[in-house]
Each structure stands twice: as C-alpha cells, then as structure tokens.
Amino acid sequence: MITNRVREKLNRGETVLGTMIQELRSPAVPILFANAGFDFVFIDMEHGAHTMETVADMIKTARFAGITPFVRVPDLQYHLIARVLDAGAQGFMVPRIETREQAERAVAYSKYPPMGERGCSINKGHNDYKGDDLISFIKNANEENFVILQIERKAAMEDLDNILSVEGVDGAVLGPNDMAVSYGVPNDLDSLLMNDIFTKVMETGKKYGVYTGMHIGNLRKLVEWKNKGMQLITYNTDIGFLNAGAALGIKELR
C-alpha cells in the first residue's frame, strides 16, 4: 500500500493544499492539479455528477501522479465509504456531520476489525491490484486512510468536543456556506460569528489532535487561517478555476 503523503506531511507539521473536482470527469484532471502543485484533491460525489466508475478512474490517475486522492461521499453510508476506499481513495470526507454517533460510524465504516467493520478485499485499487499479507495490509490500511468530517452545521458546533474526540477522526473541514445557512446569517467570512466558529473548530481540533481546515474560493481568507494554524487548506473547485480563468482572459480581450 502506498504511503499517504498528506498524512506524512501533516505529521511533520506541514500544511497541505488541495482543491475539489465537482464537474470535470476526465482522469487527466487530477494530473493537472498534481502538476500545479496541489497535495490532494477531493473528488466530489455530494454535489458532483460523477459515477463510481468515473471516480475510480480519477483515483487511479491521482495515485500514479503523486497527488493524494480523497472523495467527498454524498452521505454517511457504509457502501459509499467502503467502495471509494476499495477503489484507492486514501481518505474521504463525510458532509453534514452533527453528532458523535455519526463520527463513530464514519470511522467504523472505514476501518477493518478490530478498529471497525469494513469488509476486506485486498487486491483492489487501494493496493494497486497487488496481493499482500492480510495482517500487514489491514494494519497499514487502518493507519494510512484519512477520515475527514465536514463541520457545517450549528448542531455540530454545539457538540464539537464530543465529535472531534472520537478516536480515528483525522481531520475536520469547515463548510462556511452551509454553516452560515445553518445559523440563518449571511456568509460573511469577516463577521464576528464566523470568526468565532473558525477559531473554535481550529482550537478544538488541536485539543484532540485533529487537523483542521476549510474549503472556500476566497484566497485571502484561506491565507489568513493558514497563517493562524489551519493545515487542511482546500482552495476553490474546478468550476471556480474555469470561471475565473475564462473571465480574466475575456476581460483583457474586451
């Protein structure tokens, strides 16, 4: 099983930079983001239109391009998590986490016994279709796969200590848009409320050894919170980059 480069860098105290693929379906896209210098990419199955076959193909090219493939699964269900891990994703993010019980299920679905309840099939994409010693494989998989919870609900903030203290949770990524909707306020990233939310997530993560970050297209705000100590920085999406690049060129040409 290949090393999870994101986990390796985070364990050294470094910050990792990623983005999200929501619309483009070509296996070339992870390679392009790898060439740009990103450490990881989320393949989005919550808001993206990707089929499992497309996701599996992009995971394969990401692995061989040296960029860590993560998947945002659409929901907290065993078959959604186990299948992307079998395909070779080195981690996943579950959206809309609100309770400790949900966090425990996310861990259980992704870990082999005795840590969890994931079923075992060794010679799949997660092992580049090679055989392996069963015990060694299970140990490596349980250690390497990265479990990320998306914190984007008021209910999650009200029970954050219980959620992030679950053993096996590696990361917590803020979703500012959904968080603002949950609180019934505008998504003002400079507001006192949002600042307090970002601070609480980051400090609670540090308390329990959970790496924290956020996913937005606002570069200024990402730099600010990177400098404050967030380490899982997810910048923009394929759609955002296409829109921004096209608009910039047209502006100059006009």
Q: What distance, in Å, lies between the first and last C-alpha atoms of the chain?
A: 51
Residue 187 has what DSSP assignment?
A: -
Mean pLDDT of 222-234: 97
CB neighbour burial string for 105-137, b if at least 16 within 10 angstroms, e if fewer: bbbbbbbbeebbebeeebebbbbeeeeeeeeeb
Closest to 100 (Cα-Cα) out of 168, 184, 178: 168
Residues 13-42: tens digit of each pLDDT: 999 999 999 999 999 999 999 999 999 999
The pLDDT of residue 42: 98
> In this prediction, what percent of the chain has a pLDDT beyond 70?
100
The pLDDT of residue 131: 84
Q: Domain holding 224: CATH number?
A: 3.20.20.60
Distances from the Cα of 49 to the Cα of 52, 126, 150, 157, angstroms: 10, 23, 19, 29
Give residue 181's pLDDT band: very low, low, confident or very high (50, 70, 90).
very high
Instruction: Tell me which residue range forms the domain holding 47.
Output: 5-253
Paired tokens of 101: 């019980």
Domains held by the chain: number: 1
The pLDDT of residue 1: 79
The rounded distance, in Å, linking the Cα atoms of 90 and 140 is: 11
Whether the model pTM is above 0.75: yes
Paired tokens of 89: 């994703």
The pLDDT of residue 2 is above 90: no
The pLDDT of residue 103: 98
Q: How many CB atoms lie within 10 A of CB 62?
A: 26
The pLDDT of residue 100: 98
The pLDDT of residue 177: 93
Residues 121-177: tens digit of each pLDDT: 989 999 989 888 899 999 999 999 999 999 999 999 999 999 999 999 999 999 999
The pLDDT of residue 73: 98
Residue 127 has what DSSP assignment?
A: G
What's the 3-state SS for 4-51? CHHHHHHHCCCCEEEEEECCCCCCHHHHHHHHHCCCEEEEECCCCCCC
Residues 74-96: tens digit of each pLDDT: 999 999 999 999 999 999 999 99
When the pLDDT of each residue in the chain is averaged and rounded to a whole number, the result is 96
Query: How many helices, marked H, and strands, marked E, lie in the chain?
Result: 12, 8
Give residue 187's pLDDT band: very low, low, confident or very high (50, 70, 90).
confident
The pLDDT of residue 235: 98
Helix (H, G, I), strand (E, B) or coil at 2: coil
The pLDDT of residue 57: 97
The pLDDT of residue 112: 94
Residues 37-69: tens digit of each pLDDT: 999 999 999 999 999 999 999 999 999 999 999
Residue 126 has what DSSP assignment?
A: G
Mean pLDDT of 197-208: 98
Contact indicator for 200, 192 with CB cutoff of 8 Å: no
